[in-house]
Amino acid sequence: MNANPFPRVTARPSAIPLPRVSREFLPRAALAALFLMVTYQFDWEWLRFLTSESALRVSALLGRATARVSLDTINVQGQLFQIGIACTFVDVFLGSIPLLWDLKKTLRQNASWLLAVAMIFFVFNIFRLEIAQGLYFRGVPWIVADEVLGGFSYFAVWLFLWHQRTWKWA
């Protein structure tokens, strides 16, 4: 008897269906990428100042020792924090405009909705920055406190965009 305990099995990869992307989504995704590229062509000094000032004041309200160092840099508890463009969430907001725009609504309705979203994102971002500072002051490495928390924040925004979508995915 010549029975092979390990018979040769030829398996073919099963066809895994990939999700189809609608023609409605692709132009929005391309516009989102374009908006992101344009975002980083500006310095956004006024927004970096506004974000750093808001974080400075919230930190002070939380009882932390604070001081302004420069236009975009604050001192909190003896640690310097510089607010860059990504720290303002302007890239997140501008990149989300094509995904939030509702073609069935008027320009005024869309502008009002986007203004509300901008304010929501701004407050959410300040909250994110303050949590990152709090984690850092409790001994969490900055890469975890800022970058990992930032990743969760981006994911939360994506869930929000997915829930608010006015376009068909497939």
Which pLDDT score is estimated for 123? 98
Which pLDDT score is estimated for 167? 78
Q: How many CB atoms lie within 10 A of CB 136?
A: 20
Question: Token digits for 111?
Answer: 């502008």
Which pLDDT score is estimated for 170? 66
Mean pLDDT of the chain: 92
Q: Is 11 left (phi over 0), alpha (psi -120 to 50) or beta?
A: beta
Residue by residue, pLDDT tens for the chain (170 residues) are 556 666 676 666 666 676 677 788 899 999 999 999 999 999 999 999 999 999 999 999 999 999 999 999 999 999 999 999 999 999 999 999 999 999 999 999 999 999 999 999 999 999 999 999 999 999 999 999 999 999 999 999 999 999 998 877 76
Handedness of CA 163, 47, 34, 155 (dihedral sign): negative
Domain boundaries of the chain, sorted by first residue:
25-164
pLDDT in tens, 109-145: 999 999 999 999 999 999 999 999 999 999 999 999 9
